[in-house]
Amino acid sequence: MYNSRDTAMPKLNTNNGLDIELSDEISIEELAELQPVDIAEYLAELPVEKAAKVLTELPIDVAQETVATRLFPNLQDLFLALPNERAVEIIRNLRTDERVYLFRQLHLAKGEKAEQLNKKLFSQLPEDMQTELQNFLRYPLTSIASMMTTEFTAVYADMTVEMAKKLVLRQQKFGRKREIYDIYVLERDDGEKRLVGVVSLRDLLLVDEHDTVEDIMQRDPISILPTEERWEAAVLVSKYNLLSLPVVTHDNRMLGIVTVDDIIDVIVQEETQDYLKLGGVQTSATDKPYFETPIWTNVRKRLTWLLLLFVGGTLTANVLEGFKAEIEKVVMLTIFIPLLIGTGGNAGSQTVSTVIRGLTINEIKPQDWLKVLFKELTTGLALGLLLCGIAGIFAMFRIGDWHLAVTVGLSVIAICTWANIIGALIPIAAESLGHDPTVLSAPLITTLVDATGLVIYFTVAKLVLGL
């Protein structure tokens, strides 16, 4: 019986929708019956020493699956608190991608203790596992290889179906744990296992046992290189409705697979990072859970872009100073500045979001910039014309001066069109120069539209009002 009376027991929201109110004492057997993600969420609320004690007492397969959920905020402290034998046992039972993730996290943790723990755990793994880890860790964190697992089910093209079935059963029974998403067909070529096809488990079970695998396989399956970006795998899985994606070398030698559950994690992570970048927040700001992130860390992660935008905002002040004489003549011009600048900023942000999405899923390529420019210019002009009448009527109603109403209406058309042009070109330019469009686009849009929008507004005012 695990006693946790020294710690407030959290409520578990399980995957079946039930809330489990844990008592002061909960048996290991009861805890092991829960889903690994529920166990991980529960343990994450406990002091690390108690979480380690529970992991030590749980069955090894449950403990391994719980660690594999990646829900622990500080893996370094957790593995420091675990008995050495248990820590090594858990690591050895992890899938390749899960093991790579663990050692990346231990490597990223700073301090002498983290370095010693990393070396100690690594040295106690089997030699083949050490070699495998070293091969994977040399790839960039954002590459396919960082999330690839080498545990997959494979047969050979020249086998009969009967032989292939027996091999699949043997792999499941005696090999490392493998989820059968697809069965990959390899060709023996001078000892190299080259990918030549894929066959579903259903087809393998239903066809005549005397047929060869080559007869029933789907040739030239969709695959990806280990050096490709993780997002490319998400695009392929989504486009071709795959449950797993084979990872191969340039000469088609099979290295491993990327599974759909890992792809979902990538999509969530990438969407989170893009959202933060659009807000001018460093993506490392979410390395820890929100309530565990110190206030000073939040300040430091947000300050850089705020300072840059603050400096950029001085352009707006300079523009206002440059049109000081016009403002003094017609003070009413200032009433509509927030309306016009806000409209331009919103139009630009909409365009930026649309273009970035197109770039991300390969609907738009940098060489398409002219087509994108024409489309967004036309869209901005149409939006401006539609909003022009509303803005003009609003200005006429508020001020009663049709000259000023015309000024506001024409300015809306020009600002919407200009904002759409900027919103289309900045992400494409950033992509062409090898920069992340989400990092540059939103802050630059805000600064440029504010400053240039004012120039457009006061220029139109000078022409219409004769200032």
CATH of the domain at 184: 3.10.580.10
Q: Is 328 found in the same domain as 222? A: no
Give the domain-ending residue among 259, 278, 299. Answer: 259
Q: Is residue 75 part of a domain?
A: yes
Q: Is 434 found in the same domain as 352? A: yes
Q: Is 326 found in the same domain as 205? A: no
Q: Is residue 284 part of a domain?
A: no
Q: Is 160 found in the same domain as 253? A: yes
**Rounded distance, CA 69 to CA 364, Å?**
35
Whether the CB-CB separation of 233 and 240 falls below 8 Å is answered with no
Q: Is 229 exposed, middle or buried (0-12, 13-18, 19+ CB in 10 A)?
A: middle
Q: Is 403 found in the same domain as 319? A: yes
Tokens representing 101 are: 């993730």
Q: Is residue 282 part of a domain?
A: no
The CATH number linked to 15 is 1.25.60.10
Per-residue b or e along 307-326, where b marks 16 or more CB atoms closer than 10 Å to that residue's CB? eebeebeebbeebeeebeeb
**Rounded distance, CA 203 to CA 434, Å?**
44
Tokens representing 333 are: 């011009």
Give the domain-ending residue among 259, 279, 305. Answer: 259
Please give the pLDDT value at position 16.
39
Q: Is residue 319 part of a domain?
A: yes
Please give the pLDDT value at position 229.
86
For the chain, the C-alpha Rg in angstroms (whole number) is 30
Please give the pLDDT value at position 387.
92
**Rounded distance, CA 174 to CA 177, Å?**
9
Q: Give SS3 for 217.
A: coil
Q: Is 217 found in the same domain as 109? A: no
Which string of DSSP letters, residue by residue, matches 177-205?
Answer: ----S-EEEEEEETTEEEEEEEE-HHHHH
The CATH number linked to 375 is 1.10.357.20
Average pLDDT by stretches of 10, the chain with 467 residues: 41 40 63 88 87 90 88 82 91 87 79 80 90 86 84 90 90 68 83 86 88 91 91 86 90 89 76 60 54 70 70 71 71 82 87 86 87 94 91 82 88 93 90 77 74 87 82
Give the domain-ending residue among 241, 259, 277. Answer: 259
Q: Is 76 found in the same domain as 8? A: yes
Q: Supply the range of the domain harboring residue 345.
A: 290-465
- Calculate the CA 107 to chain-centre distance: 21
Whether the CB-CB separation of 165 and 192 falls below 8 Å is answered with no
Q: Is 307 found in the same domain as 192? A: no
Q: Is 207 found in the same domain as 348? A: no
Q: Is 318 found in the same domain as 248? A: no
Tell whether the torsion through CA atoms of 245, 247, 253 and 254 is positive or negative: negative
**Rounded distance, CA 129 to CA 446, Å?**
50
Q: Is residue 391 part of a domain?
A: yes
Q: Is residue 52 part of a domain?
A: yes
For the chain, what is the domain count?
3
Tokens representing 108 are: 């990223």
Q: Is residue 266 part of a domain?
A: no
**Rounded distance, CA 286 to CA 289, Å?**
6
Q: Is 363 found in the same domain as 222? A: no
Quote the DSSP letter at residue 8.
P
Tell whether the torsion through CA atoms of 72, 76, 77 and 79 is positive or negative: positive
Tell whether the torsion through CA atoms of 381, 383, 389 and 392 is positive or negative: negative
**Rounded distance, CA 395 to CA 412, Å?**
12
Q: Is residue 285 part of a domain?
A: no
Please give the pLDDT value at position 292.
63
Q: Is 323 found in the same domain as 200? A: no
